[in-house]
């Protein structure tokens, strides 16, 4: 980069949600009066090695390290903990994350990441968790940091400052007139609980109702379901990759959004449903899931008490049975709850708290 920017965002961008979040943050930094460059991480041929959790994180962390070497800026924001894991000690920097390895990398496959992130988080100048649960997990990781992770910090006992900075929740301008009764997202079928979703839909789907599943095409979905011993349910449309505007319009037009995820790092797809006022039918997905407490506050009967097909099917029936008055009241309440997630509200946080901390400016 020939021109030195105020902020460089090193964007791992391995999911649609992170690409959306990183672009939004870059726009917020610019709107706040600082120059910003978004630096996408190029993984290249090494991406073929991403076969296990440990190898995936090594490949992506090394790619982020190579990419960051070319970023010339007054301060750096690493998007995800993974992108920061193997960075050398450097000037002012923040780490933005939806989850930590301590939450999302259990077992032997996440051992080195859990150890490494303690020091990496402890030495950052600023932490930008996307939710309160992610902030609490980072605080606990910093508290476990080895002494070497504190040597460069004069006030190590307090750890780095944290500012909760979620992604803004986008809304469609108009709902799609051809939207289905139910919509779901399953780009990663195991993580998204596609087997549970299909079993619940088979049990609960009213005659003539359609379920649209985004993020996966029919061939991939049926191969995965066959391995799990699950039959293709009736009236399902496998949409594959859907353009962003079209996806938001479909979500806004559906009667319910259905979530069967086994773990949520933040829950972008669910938050988009709530932002559109579309009732969220969900299992109690663990993780730093920002959408779950909101869903419970809006309509507890649409949150299944357990992650099993019968419980999700019952919640799905309740969601599809909502009349227009109930749907309008749900949408109105969701709009109030989602107000802190507007681009305007989060842009103010960037201007008031993030940039002063990284650029040594007064807010």
Predicted pLDDT of residue 3: 61
The DSSP result for 291-324, as a single string, is HHHHHHHH-GGGB-SSSSHHHHHHHHHHHHT--H
- Distances in Å between the alpha carbon of 302 and those of 35, 181, 261, 280, 311? 44, 15, 15, 7, 10
Q: Does the fold of domain 182-341 match that of domain 5-168+342-359? A: yes
CATH topology (fold) of 5-168+342-359:
Rossmann fold (3.40.50)
> Which residues of the chain, if any, have pLDDT below 70?
1-3, 45-46, 49, 146-158, 361-363
Return the pLDDT at 1: 43
Q: Residue 361 has what pLDDT?
A: 61
Burial class (CB within 10 angstroms; exposed 0-12, middle 13-18, buried 19+) of 170? buried
Taken as a whole, the chain contains a residue count of 363
The pLDDT assigned to 157 comes to: 52
What's the CATH number of domain 182-341, 3.40.640.10, 3.40.50.300, 3.40.50.2000, 3.40.50.150? 3.40.50.2000
Give the pTM. 0.90
Domain boundaries, the chain: 5-168+342-359, 182-341
**What's the pLDDT at 241?**
94
Q: What is the pLDDT of residue 362?
A: 53
């Amino acid at each position: 980069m020939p021109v030195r920017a105020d902020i460089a965002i090193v964007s791992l961008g391995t999911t649609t949600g992170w690409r959306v979040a990183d672009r939004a943050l870059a726009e917020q930094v610019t709107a706040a009066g600082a120059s910003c460059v978004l630096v996408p991480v190029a993984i290249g041929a090494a991406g073929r090695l991403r076969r296990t959790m440990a190898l995936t994180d090594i490949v992506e962390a090394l790619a982020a390290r190579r990419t960051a070497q070319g970023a010339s800026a007054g301060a750096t924001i690493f998007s995800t903990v993974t992108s920061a894991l193997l960075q050398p000690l450097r000037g002012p920097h923040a780490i933005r994350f939806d989850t930590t390895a301590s939450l999302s990398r259990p077992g032997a496959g996440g051992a080195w990441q859990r150890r490494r992130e303690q020091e990496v988080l402890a030495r950052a100048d600023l932490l930008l968790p996307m939710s309160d649960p992610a902030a609490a997990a980072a605080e606990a990781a910093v508290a476990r940091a080895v002494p070497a992770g504190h040597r460069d910090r004069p006030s190590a006992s307090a750890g780095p400052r944290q500012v909760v900075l979620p992604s803004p929740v986008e809304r469609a301008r108009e709902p799609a007139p051809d939207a289905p009764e139910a919509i779901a997202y399953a780009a990663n079928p195991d993580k998204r609980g596609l087997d549970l979703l299909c079993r619940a839909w088979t049990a609960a789907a009213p005659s003539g109702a359609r379920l649209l599943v985004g993020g996966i095409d029919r061939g991939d979905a049926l191969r995965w379901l066959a391995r799990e011993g699950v039959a293709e349910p009736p009236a399902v449309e496998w949409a594959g990759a859907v353009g962003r505007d079209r996806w938001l319009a479909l979500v806004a037009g559906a009667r319910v959004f259905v979530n069967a995820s086994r773990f949520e790092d933040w829950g972008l797809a669910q938050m988009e449903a709530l932002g559109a006022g579309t009732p969220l039918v969900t299992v109690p997905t663990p993780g730093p899931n920002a959408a779950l407490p909101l869903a419970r506050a809006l309509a507890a009967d649409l949150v299944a008490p357990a992650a099993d097909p019968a419980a999700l099917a019952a919640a799905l029936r309740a969601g599809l049975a909502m009349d227009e008055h109930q749907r309008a009241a749900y949408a109105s309440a969701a709009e109030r709850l989602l107000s802190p997630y507007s681009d305007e509200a989060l842009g103010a946080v960037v201007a008031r708290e993030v940039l002063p901390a990284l650029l040594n400016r007064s807010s």
